[in-house]
Amino acid sequence: MAETTAPEAIIPRADPAASEPHHARDLLRFATAGSVDDGKSTLVGRLLYDTKSVLADQIEAVQRASVDKGLSTPDLSLLVDGLRAEREQGITIDVAYRYFSTPKREFVLADTPGHVQYTRNTVTGASTAELAVLLVDARNGIVEQTRRHAAVLALLRVPRLVLAINKIDLVGYDEETLSAIAKDFAGLARSLGFPDEAVVTIPVSALVGDNVVERSGHTPWYDGPTLLGHLESVPVVGPEVRSPFRMAVQYVIRPRRNSAGTDDLHDYRGYAGQVASGTVAPGDEVVVLPGGRHTTVAAVDTADGPLAAAGAGRSVTILLADDIDISRGDLIAAASTPPRVTSELDTTLCWLAEKPLRPGARLLLKHGTRTTQVIVGAIKGRLDPETLTFGDAPAQLQINDIAHVGLRTADPLPVDDYAQVRATGSFLLIDPPTGNTLAAGLVGYPLADALS
């Protein structure tokens, strides 16, 4: 059901950008998750409103549409629901991306709907998130949907978690109620392997605005940050920075001649890619996989000139000391801590397709910049979302199932466990006839390991 909110409840802040200095701000990618009717659309609307990210014509469009629907107050979910089917049915179907910024930071928000295809949407949103905000209704506390979402966030190893306990106005801002929910959740998060310091619980009312952007006067017993305050100050640095160096080769750059037509670039041979984890610098010993040849980084080049070092997330062009046959699909890795090269994989699959998965299926697997054929082996155990254990081994996987599955690939792949390096521990399974993405795959058992 779509929620409505009174316009007078929305108090836009003073324009934060007006006094904005020209300093470099970083970017936080985060996701929201929650079950139906927990007020997530209103919370997202509140964040957008109060950070002045909703502009006059968008507000007017929502007001016009609300009047057309016979509503007396603007329906904030209309800001969030982008597709006609969503507006007509009052539900959110697909992951939507939202953008807002404050003087401190820019934000990319993957807003994931809770009910239909929750695994597909939560996995999608969480796969690029450095933090997730999980919503619960203060009247209901931790429900099964919360446990399912938290399990997916733990599986995907989202580094930081916020539990936003919403609608605290509807429980009279009762400290005992809220601390009981916080305690329940701390236990759940711990059992899923989240370190205590990675989890924050914030009591909010998205409708009234308590503790979203402005500190609430109704919660004197709460001394933590507001939601926005936390989002602005939490460290962005992901685990990729501390992992060993990995970079998949996307494209080989061989200019042969420069734009002036001379041939001083004749010997230039650069390997273009985005640093997936760790750091790379000239002089580093690297290994090129799956071939296994060792060499040294000669230069880390960009269009703006060579770099002294490049870290995770940076797109670069690497020049190597030795002339090795390298092409798209190869992985350049730190020689001292290389990934293992194997064609037998123990994996955790999130099955996202309507069509079921059976052992023996022949599919395509995309890992880094390489796509290879794969044969599905045994289904070894499926996650029971109620008990959070990997129990039965069904004959086939259905949509939204998360399970341990063995795979055999046609070509050996350089992989790390997902829990160690996300980029080299993740892959897609693709349906050969339709090209559709069937599954999100993780090397190893990152959730089962956390649960045990």
Partner 1 sequence: MSAPALDALDALESESIHIFREVAGEFDRPVILFSGGKDSTLLVHLAVKAFAPAPVPFPLLHVDTGHNYPEVIDFRDRLVARLGLRLEVAHVQDWIDDGRLVERPDGTRNPLQTVPLLDSINEHRFDAVFGGGRRDEERARAKERIISLRDAFGRWDPRSQRPELWNLYNGRHAPGEHVRVFPISNWTELDVWRYIQREDVELPSIYYAHERPVFRRDGMWLAEGPWGGPRGSEALETKTVRYRTVGDGSCTGAVESAATSLDEIIAEVTASRLTERGATRADDRLSEAAMEDRKREGYF
Judged by CB under 8 A, the residue of 195, 220, 255, 292 near partner 1 is: 255
SS3 content of the chain, % helix, strand, coil (to 5): 25, 35, 45
Nearest approach, Cβ of residue 251 and partner 1 (Å): 5
Of 34, 193, 209, 273, the one binding partner 1 (CB under 8 A) is 273
Among the listed ranges 162-170, 176-184, 213-221, 307-315, the one in contact with partner 1 (CB under 8 A) is: 307-315
Q: By CB under 8 A, what part of segment 5-34 binds partner 1?
A: 15, 17-18, 20, 24-27
Element (H, E) at 49: helix 40-50
Which of residues 36, 91, 98, 324 is near partner 1 by CB under 8 A? Answer: 98
**Per rule CB under 8 A, is residue 154 in the interface with partner 1?**
no
Quick one: 383 or 423, whose CB is closer to partner 1? 423
Select 171 or 421, whichever has its Cβ closest to partner 1.
Answer: 421
Site for partner 1 in 167-196 (CB under 8 A): none
Distance separating the N- and C-terminal Cα atoms of the chain: 38
Q: Which of 274, 337, 396, 398 binds partner 1 (CB under 8 A)?
A: 274
SS (HEC) of 392-431: CCCCCECCCCEEEEEEEEEEEEEECCCCCCCHHHEEEEEC
Judged by CB under 8 A, the residue of 3, 38, 50, 81 near partner 1 is 81
Instruction: Please list every residue from 232 through 251 that binds partner 1, using CB under 8 A.
Output: 236-237, 250-251
Q: Which of 215, 218, 293, 314 binds partner 1 (CB under 8 A)?
A: 314
> Among all chains, which residue has been given the structure tokens 């690497």?
318
Three-class SS state of 285? strand
- In the numeric block, which tokens belong to residue 14? 């003073």
Query: Does the footprint of partner 1 cover residue 352 (CB under 8 A)?
Result: yes
Residue count, binding to partner 1 (CB under 8 A): 83
What is the Cα–Cα distance from 209 to 223, expressed in whole angstroms? 17
Instruction: Give DSSP secondary structure letters for 145-187.
Output: HHHHHHHHHHHTT-SEEEEEEE-GGGGTT-HHHHHHHHHHHHH
Binding partner 1 by CB under 8 A: which of 36, 198, 281, 363? 281
Distance of alpha carbon 427 from alpha carbon 408, whole angstroms: 13
